[in-house]
Structure 1
Amino acid sequence: MAFVQIIDCKTDKLDDLNRLMDTWAETTKGKRTASHAVVATDRADTKHVVEIVEFPSYEEAMRNSNLPETDRIFREMVALCDAPPTFTDLDVVRDSQFNKTTANRVFDEIAKGNLDVIDECMADDYRDHDFGSEGDAVGIAAFRDRCGGYMGAFDFTFSIESQISEGDEVATRWTWHATQKADFMGVPNTGKSVTGRGTTTFKFKDGKIKEGWWQWDVMGLMRQLGVMPG
């Protein structure tokens, strides 16, 4: 279970505090177990500083706390604050990452043949950059046509291998399992089952996908279809 620690303090030495965090990050390379850290100030009280640190588990957080470097930095942090910092320890019981959910839905529904998901999840001016196609597809109608070309030539599914969400972008590493059923890019129907691997990055705005970049092994697909030598 993921674990989050919230550290509250009062200080007007934010620059010094940030430098201290940089020092901690540098000295704990290869040792620290924290996976994500955010430092924020209260709009209503700029001296009120909150640090949110995420760990894979409570046990990993405790291991991180026991590092000599963490202890030393904490003592220096206390010296910068008006009063000793307070700690809130939280076990994560829900982690809703809405952009990742939308990205997954696009992969799942397109594989099922439901192109209506494009109208629901893509912005009207969506721009698609596909390494395997000539030029960009601009607008959801153009992207529907592009997807329709793959759907007409293959029966396929996507397996999501991993995803990273940062800011307004979601990067998905996937494996594509397909069987050719019609001509594709001038390649006559072979009836062969093929596997493709790639990465897609979606950029979101206002809850909808604004832009997409597909990078995948086109040459590998053509070799499997017998168009290129192995």
Structure 2
Amino acid sequence: MTFVQLIDCRTSRFDEMDRLMDTWVEQTKGKRTATHAVVGKDRSDASHFIEIVEFPSFEEAMRNSNLPETGKVFQELVALCDEMPTFTDLDVVRDERLCAATARRLFETVAAPGELAPLDGLLAQDYHDHDPANVQDTIGMDAMRREVEMWRGGFDVTFTVEDQISEDDRVCTRWTFEGTHHGEFMGLAPTGREVTMTGTTVFRFDDDGRIAEGWWQYDRLGLMAQLGALDALEN
């Protein structure tokens, strides 16, 4: 279930607070779990600010709070406030906004360097994946995690989201994949080649806002050609 936290504070040093938050965003790049954040200033009180932060779930919010960088920044943020800020925790019971941000975050999570982050805030446990390159569909979050690890093991992954269209419980994302072939992939030894691939993915979301099903279309033949896998056939 989507979770929202309201942070209510008063400060006469907002410019310093704004720079502090920019620093925190940079320090936690690839690790923070918030999907959307808005800061508003009270029109009748220039020292009164409210930040609205959205997470895929309460558990993801707690994971975000437990980041070492978050604890450090919180103490510095409190020091910039005129009084102790207040926090309101909300479970979202109705959301008219569709799930494009969650789809985008999945691509960001897959491409983030280091150990693959947990996917439970993004994918349903019984997630069902349709990939025409696989003989059988991938079913279950753990199985999908292994699929993602296979790609990450072969490439330094970067995804660029080119376009998104949302309707009801579906989000269609057009993306570009770029990477360096640094590990074994589909039986091919590392080549060190830089590769690019385009594709489109349609995700279906469940009632909890998690991705329940996915359909992938991408230029795998073009990818294999860039890796030299088709050279023998051409000769």
Question: TM-score, structure 1 length as denominator?
Answer: 0.56
CA distance in 1, matches of 2:168, 2:112: 29
Q: Tell me the equivalent position of 2:218.
A: 216
Q: Does the Cα contact within 8 Å between 2:98 and 2:166 map onto a contact in 1? A: no
Letter in 2 for 1:212: G
Q: Does the Cα contact within 8 Å between 2:171 and 2:204 map onto a contact in 1? A: yes
Q: Tell me the equivalent position of 1:227.
A: 229
Q: Does the Cα contact within 8 Å between 2:111 and 2:159 map onto a contact in 1? A: yes
Q: Shift of the alpha carbon at 1:117?
A: 4.4
CA distance in 2, matches of 1:97, 1:194: 35
Question: TM-score, structure 2 length as denominator?
Answer: 0.55
CA distance in 2, matches of 1:130, 1:210: 14
CA distance in 1, matches of 2:195, 2:117: 26
Query: Which has the larger Rg?
Result: 1
CA distance in 2, matches of 1:159, 1:141: 25
Q: Tell me the equivalent position of 1:174.
A: 175
Q: In percent, how many aligned pairs have the same letter?
A: 45
Q: Shift of the alpha carbon at 1:116?
A: 3.1
Q: Tell me the equivalent position of 1:201.
A: 202
CA distance in 2, matches of 1:192, 1:141: 30
Change (3 A) 1:178 1:191: same
Q: Tell me the equivalent position of 1:108.
A: 108
RMSD across aligned positions (CA):
1.8
* CA displacement 1:127-153 (0-9 Å, x = unmatched): 111223231111000000000000011
Q: Tell me the equivalent position of 2:139.
A: 138
CA distance in 1, matches of 2:97, 2:132: 27
Q: Shift of the alpha carbon at 1:189?
A: 0.8
Aligned length: 136
Name the SS of the counterpart of 1:133 in structure 2: coil
Which stretches in structure 2 are left out of the alignment for 5+ residues?
A: 1-95
CA distance in 2, matches of 1:132, 1:178: 19
Q: Shift of the alpha carbon at 1:115?
A: 3.4
Q: Does the Cα contact within 8 Å between 2:132 and 2:216 map onto a contact in 1? A: yes
Name the SS of the counterpart of 1:116 in structure 2: coil
